[in-house]
């Protein structure tokens, strides 16, 4: 066991160093692509906390992304905040919002929870579209980052990377603490969790809030990077779908599953849209469906179980068929 832990630690370290060094040897386009992957990896990993570990499939996590983006925009543009302060406030505001919304919404389970969160995100979009402080549908500009072009690419890449590392580290620490067990117990059987002494309301709300915190951070960096945001892309349901697909594709309830999912999904869809201008969405959809049918536990499961053969796929189909 000890030996294994040491090895995983070593591998993680190598991957991290690789990710940290990679922008130094490549062009701006690739750095930007890497930044996008990291952004989705943050969101998918954050979704994993509430959706993967706690078992509450939130279909509205984009609301935290949007809140993060708009908090940064408003604070920097209207209140003259620096980015550091705006970044911190964005995450915190998203987290507080998650607590306020979570208290009523987390009373719902399964599909009802999914629909309610979807509604929350749509309602928030409508609100932002109509508020004066967010400048409605015309969108809001942010101050530009005062750096060389190359420096800007580095800045946003490393901000995303740092946020992702913080997210994964937090998740890892929590999983090994009692709090992590309470989340998994809720996912496995909420009534049993309650009777065994777990304050399920508290645990669920904290998980939701933590998920919101990191999603809000991602939104904040995104807004500063774009220098101009509008309600439609900031609150679009597509973003939620994307994070869920990535988390599921990579492996729900696995620490590195969503990161792996974000990477593979982004790379696959990039390759597809390069080669098939019109039909790439069709091919992409097919790949996702095949992945869900053959490896419902995600590609992380293939890697950790080291099974990549026909019987593994057949077993999955048997186990999870409707």
Partner 1 sequence: MAILQANRISKHFDGLVAVNKVSFVLNPGEILGLIGPNGAGKTTVVNMIAGVYPPTEGEIHFKGKPIHGLKPYRIGRMGIARTFQVVKPFPGMTVKENVAVGAMFGARGKRRSAKEAMEKAEEVLEFVGLADQKDRRADQLGVAFRKRLEMAKALAMSPDVVLFDEVMAGLNFGEIDQAVQMIQKIRHSGITILVIEHVMRAIKNLCDRVFVLHHGEKIADGPVEEVLNDENVIKAYLGKRFKELTH
Which positions touch partner 1 (CB under 8 A)?
Answer: 176-178, 181-182, 184-185, 187-189, 191-200
Smaller CB separation from partner 1, 8 or 199: 199
Smaller CB separation from partner 1, 135 or 190: 190
Rounded to a whole number of angstroms, the minimum distance from the CB of residue 190 to partner 1 is: 10
Q: Give the number of other CB atoms < 10 A from CB of residue 239.
A: 24
Which two three-digit tokens encode residue 99? 């607590």
Rounded to a whole number of angstroms, the minimum distance from the CB of residue 193 to partner 1 is: 8
Smaller CB separation from partner 1, 189 or 232: 189
| 297 φ/ψ angles, rounded to the nearest 5 degrees | -90, 0
Smaller CB separation from partner 1, 132 or 191: 191
Residue whose C-alpha is closest to residue 160's, from 252, 266, 7: 266
Q: What is the C-alpha separation between 17 and 19, in angstroms, rounded?
A: 5
Smaller CB separation from partner 1, 134 or 316: 316
Q: Give the number of other CB atoms < 10 A from CB of residue 312.
A: 16
Rounded to a whole number of angstroms, the minimum distance from the CB of residue 291 to partner 1 is: 21
Q: Are 124 and 235 in contact (CB under 8 A)?
A: yes
Please list, in sequence order, all residues whose beta carbon lies within 8 angstroms of the beta carbon of residue 47, skipping any fewer than 6 positions away.
58, 61, 211, 215, 243, 244, 247, 258
Q: What is the C-alpha separation between 250 and 255, in angstroms, rounded?
A: 10
Rounded to a whole number of angstroms, the minimum distance from the CB of residue 177 to partner 1 is: 6
Residue whose C-alpha is closest to residue 91's, from 167, 35, 153: 167
Smaller CB separation from partner 1, 266 or 301: 301
Please list, in sequence order, all residues whose beta carbon lies within 8 angstroms of the beta carbon of residue 322, skipping any fewer than 6 positions away.
none
Rounded to a whole number of angstroms, the minimum distance from the CB of residue 187 to partner 1 is: 8
Smaller CB separation from partner 1, 193 or 229: 193
Q: Are 65 and 239 in contact (CB under 8 A)?
A: yes
Total length of the chain: 322
Smaller CB separation from partner 1, 36 or 190: 190
Rounded to a whole number of angstroms, the minimum distance from the CB of residue 173 to partner 1 is: 11
Please list, in sequence order, all residues whose beta carbon lies within 8 angstroms of the beta carbon of residue 198, skipping any fewer than 6 positions away.
182, 185, 186
Rounded to a whole number of angstroms, the minimum distance from the CB of residue 198 to partner 1 is: 5
Beta strands 228-229 and 140-141, pairing class: antiparallel
* Chain centre distance of CA 228: 21
Rounded to a whole number of angstroms, the minimum distance from the CB of residue 6 to partner 1 is: 19
């Amino acid at each position: 066991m000890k030996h294994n832990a040491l090895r995983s630690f070593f591998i993680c370290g190598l991957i991290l160093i690789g990710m940290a060094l990679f922008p130094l040897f490549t062009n701006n386009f690739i750095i930007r692509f890497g930044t996008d992957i990291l952004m989705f990896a943050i969101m998918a990993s954050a979704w994993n906390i509430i959706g993967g570990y706690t078992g509450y499939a939130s279909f509205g996590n984009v609301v935290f992304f949007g809140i993060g983006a708009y908090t940064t925009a408003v604070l920097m543009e209207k209140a003259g905040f620096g980015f550091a302060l705006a970044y911190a406030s964005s995450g915190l505001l998203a987290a507080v919002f998650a607590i306020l919304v979570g208290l009523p919404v987390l009373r719902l389970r399964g599909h009802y929870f999914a629909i309610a969160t979807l509604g929350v995100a749509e309602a928030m979009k409508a609100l932002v579209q109509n508020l004066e402080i967010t400048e409605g549908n015309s969108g809001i500009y942010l101050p530009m980052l005062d750096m060389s072009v190359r420096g800007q690419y580095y800045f946003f890449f490393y901000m995303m990377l740092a946020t992702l590392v913080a997210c994964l580290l937090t998740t890892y620490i929590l999983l090994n603490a009692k709090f992590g067990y309470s989340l998994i117990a809720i996912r496995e059987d909420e009534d049993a969790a309650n009777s065994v002494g777990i304050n399920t309301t508290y645990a669920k709300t904290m998980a939701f809030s933590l998920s919101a915190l990191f999603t809000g951070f991602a939104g904040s960096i995104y807004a500063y990077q774009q220098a101009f945001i509008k309600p439609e892309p900031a609150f679009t349901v597509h973003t939620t779908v994307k994070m869920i697909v990535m988390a599921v594709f990579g492996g729900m309830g696995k620490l590195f599953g969503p990161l792996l999912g974000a990477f593979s999904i982004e790379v696959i869809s990039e390759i597809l849209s390069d080669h098939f201008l019109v039909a790439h969405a069709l091919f992409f959809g097919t790949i996702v469906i095949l992945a869900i049918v053959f490896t419902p536990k995600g590609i992380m499961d293939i890697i950790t179980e080291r099974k990549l053969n026909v019987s593994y796929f057949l077993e999955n189909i048997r186990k999870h068929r409707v």
